[in-house]
Structure 1
Amino acid sequence: MNGIDLVNGIVGAVCGIILAILFQQPLQDGWFRARRRFATVVRSLTYREGGAPLSTWSTFSIGPLHTSALVVEGDGEQAIAPESVRVQVLEGEVVLPEEMAAWRAEVEAAEEQAETSGTRVRVWNGPRYAVEGLEISRTALEEHADVRLRLRPTDYFTFLAAQQLDRRFADGTTPRGRYLDPDRPLDAPAFLQCSFGVNVAVVTADHLLVVSRRADNVRSGPGLWGSSVNEGLSRHIDSAGRSAPDLHDVARRGMREELSLEPQEYTLTLLAFVLDIERRQWSAHFTAHLTDLTGQALRSRISRGVADRWEHQSIEYVPFRPVDVTRYVLRPDRIRRWAPVTPALFHLALVHTHGRGAVERAEAQTVRRLRAEGTRLPTDPPVSGAAPEPR
């Protein structure tokens, strides 16, 4: 019996191999065709002729948090080298269309009236820059980012007039509807982009993220929670003589004015270029890691005085770990109170330190846990508000 069983086993094994050889590929082909037909049926049920194609230009979001921040260049993992950014200042100031020029005259008259009546401090019409264009290319060998930023002179009153994107003209249209195409977010006239600033995510030596809240009396984003440091480009301060501004120098100025930090006390890294498509405000996103100063030491430093203390009404410190920062960003009392570009800044800073995979896993896990805990996560439209402005 043992011999017969052995022979039967060998015969069965040989037959199994033959059948597998003969039928495995046809079975696989049949299964593939069935899956393809199923996918085609699903697409036919969901597709509508003339439907809008999915855009690659999606604004930044985490779970229920949707912002108007569009990450134009940078993924957080690879830094953008200072020498990779070329800034060019073009001749000739921004010119507003005739109807919008009247709005600028209204802004100027209102500020003069405020000074005359003494109801509030008059806003200074500081010289600033508008964005004519931002072009991105890649180096031939390493494929590193090569950024060309073209700026044009403008002023703060022009910026305030251009921020009225949804104000109606005499014909009923608005600047947003007349001059902007939502499917081409990078195409916009310079007079609607009179803002370029830097945002810095500062991390202390003991791994705490510095988060600031803007003062209630500032004109741009009052009361919103934002980056550790934000600073707008100034023609008066950031362009010595006729030279173009250096974005790293602007970030260093913000670090000094808002946190009393000197360049030798931190490492500064450029991570991304981001556009707030709702307000048409551009930002360069940086992260800065303090070499020796802990959170307590920074608090002590700030207590002894900073140049621009009045711009922020409070500062908080959050453990710089993906789960902790994500839970903080998604707090029910905070999720609607972020400056639009700030969540993207914190995400990119985390990615630069912890890696994209770890950060995205932590974000997904945090969203699931918050929902499992019964935390009510709003599903509001994109966060609105103003991006970084110096005043």
Structure 2
Amino acid sequence: MSGIDVVNGAVGAVFGLVLGSLFQQPIEDAWHRFRRRSAGRVRSLTFRQGDGRAAAAWSAFALGPLRTSALIVEGDGRHPIAPSAVHVQVLDQEAVLPEEMAPWRDEIEEQEGARDGGGAWNGPRYAVDEVSVSRSPLEEQPEVRLRLRPTDYFTFLAAQQLDRRLPDGTTPRGRYLDPGDPFCAPAFLQCSFGVNVAVVTADHLLVVTRRADGVRTGTGLWNSSVNEGLSRHLDSAGRNAPDLHEVARRGMREELSLEPHEYTLSLLAFVLDVERRQWSAHFHARLGELTGEGLQERMSRGVADRWEHQSVDLVPFRPADVVGYLLRPDRIHRWTPTAPALFHLALVHAYGRGPVERAEDRAVRRLGAR
């Protein structure tokens, strides 16, 4: 081989490496958009044109008169989803608002900057580009792939204005979302992924929290034991993708002052709030030795994120008691969208589907007889 051939080969290799670096991400994004749109068309046909049974398969969680916007996408509570079955990828390109929505973010930034004390911190967050679910070849266990994009808190607040009018009179919900296909949405409208944990003490008490009046979303509503959003600042070491189990453990530490050796943690489901376009992973945590009284004493000595909750209830963790609590007249319309589904899944995980559904049927019938 001549010296010219060697030089040409080296130049070609470098040129190919540069082109690959420049175009790998756009090509990969184009492929995923094509795959998502193709799959979306199939799901949309099933969702719209089914005989009623198919449409019900994708209904949001409901318990008699208690209606929510929480769609359980994967998981039924019976079998935990293994940590190794969850694959998280973080893309380089940020989720950017379209031109007609960008001024909304500017408004929020200006408003927060004008508040006493500097307003809300524009924390780095993640937007959901895609959630896909498949099955392993042999055991048919769930495999969940989560693709995230960088975003921030002010973009999230702007994107939550789904029903605000755009200059042409349409709304983001009407322009960018397909009511027949709940899984197809642009990343800039899904700037939230969080974890929700149902915590049960050693003496079989379910921890239920009420969100504080000072939080921006879900103000004053009853909620899961622990609720934590993914943070690019806290949950991504270096360039590593966040680990959902570690996010749940962070929430347990910050909101209830619990350390990992004090409980077992099981991932039960992935859930989409179709009304607000917020994704979450649902967990169940069982405390090994700490009782309800012990947990309250622990929290009385200081909790990092105490400001997020204004009160905590301890409910006997039995199907009849939890279902009755969910349907209490002073609770039934005061839940966050995802909490009832979380507590149902936790009950199924502990007691099985049959006993839980029988308790739910009895509770709903009693309501109807009043």
Aligned partner of residue 303 in structure 2, secondary structure: coil
Aligned partner of residue 101 in structure 2, secondary structure: helix
Aligned partner of residue 79 in structure 1, secondary structure: coil
Aligned partner of residue 99 in structure 1, secondary structure: coil
Matched, 1:129 2:130: no
Alignment of 1:262-301 (within 5 A): 262-301=259-298
2:15 maps to none
What is the CA–CA distance in structure 2 between the aligned matches of 1:348 and 1:232, rounded to whole Å? 20
2:18 maps to none
Matched, 1:68 2:69: yes
What is the CA–CA distance in structure 2 between the aligned matches of 1:221 and 1:81, rounded to whole Å? 30
Output the TM-score relative to the length of structure 1: 0.80
What is the CA–CA distance in structure 1 between the aligned matches of 2:60 and 2:198, rounded to whole Å? 20
- Distance change in 2, residues 1:363/1:121 (3 Å): farther
Output the TM-score relative to the length of structure 2: 0.85
What is the CA–CA distance in structure 2 between the aligned matches of 1:142 and 1:79, rounded to whole Å? 14
What is the CA–CA distance in structure 1 between the aligned matches of 2:294 and 2:72, rounded to whole Å? 33
Alignment of 1:13-24 (within 5 A): none
Residues 78-97 of structure 1: per-residue CA shift (max 9 Å, x gap): 11000000000001111111
Residues 223-264 of structure 1: per-residue CA shift (max 9 Å, x gap): 010000000000000001000000000000000000000000
244, 247, 261: which one aligns with 1:250: 247
1:225 maps to 222
Matched, 1:370 2:341: no
What is the CA–CA distance in structure 1 between the aligned matches of 2:319 and 2:85, rounded to whole Å? 29
What is the CA–CA distance in structure 2 between the aligned matches of 1:370 and 1:62, rounded to whole Å? 11
Letter of the 2:124 counterpart? P
Letter of the 2:361 counterpart? A
Shift of 1:368: 1.1
- Distance change in 2, residues 1:52/1:128 (3 Å): same
Letter of the 1:91 counterpart? D
What is the CA–CA distance in structure 1 between the aligned matches of 2:109 and 2:304, rounded to whole Å? 27
Shift of 1:370: 2.9
What is the CA–CA distance in structure 1 between the aligned matches of 2:50 and 2:241, rounded to whole Å? 41
Matched, 1:185 2:178: no
Shift of 1:367: 1.1
Which range moves more in the overlay, 172-181 or 120-129? 120-129
Shift of 1:113: 1.6
What is the CA–CA distance in structure 2 between the aligned matches of 1:235 and 1:363, rounded to whole Å? 39
Residue correspondences, number:
320
What is the CA–CA distance in structure 2 between the aligned matches of 1:113 and 1:267, rounded to whole Å? 44
1:164 maps to 161
- Distance change in 2, residues 1:188/1:263 (3 Å): same
354, 357, 362: which one aligns with 2:351: 354
1:138 maps to 135
Shift of 1:53: 4.9
Residues 157-202 of structure 1: per-residue CA shift (max 9 Å, x gap): 0001000000011111100000000110000000000000000000
What is the CA–CA distance in structure 2 between the aligned matches of 1:73 and 1:96, rounded to whole Å? 28
Aligned partner of residue 298 in structure 1, secondary structure: helix
Alignment of 1:102-121 (within 5 A): 102-114=103-115, 118=116, 121=118
Shift of 1:140: 1.0
Shift of 1:57: 1.2
Shift of 1:353: 0.3
Unaligned runs of 5+ in 2: 1-47
Residues 108-130 of structure 1: per-residue CA shift (max 9 Å, x gap): 1111122xxx2x65100000000
| Percent identity for Structure 1 against Structure 2 | 72
Matched, 1:205 2:202: yes
> Cα RMSD over matched residues?
1.2
What is the CA–CA distance in structure 2 between the aligned matches of 1:112 and 1:122, rounded to whole Å? 6
What is the CA–CA distance in structure 2 between the aligned matches of 1:258 and 1:91, rounded to whole Å? 31
What is the CA–CA distance in structure 2 between the aligned matches of 1:80 and 1:182, rounded to whole Å? 28
What is the CA–CA distance in structure 1 between the aligned matches of 2:306 and 2:63, rounded to whole Å? 31
What is the CA–CA distance in structure 2 between the aligned matches of 1:295 and 1:245, rounded to whole Å? 31
Letter of the 2:134 counterpart? S
Residues 249-281 of structure 1: per-residue CA shift (max 9 Å, x gap): 000000000000000000000000000000000
Letter of the 2:85 counterpart? S
Shift of 1:52: 7.7
Unaligned runs of 5+ in 1: 1-49, 375-391
Shift of 1:371: 2.8
320, 325, 343: which one aligns with 1:323: 320
What is the CA–CA distance in structure 1 between the aligned matches of 2:50 and 2:197, rounded to whole Å? 36
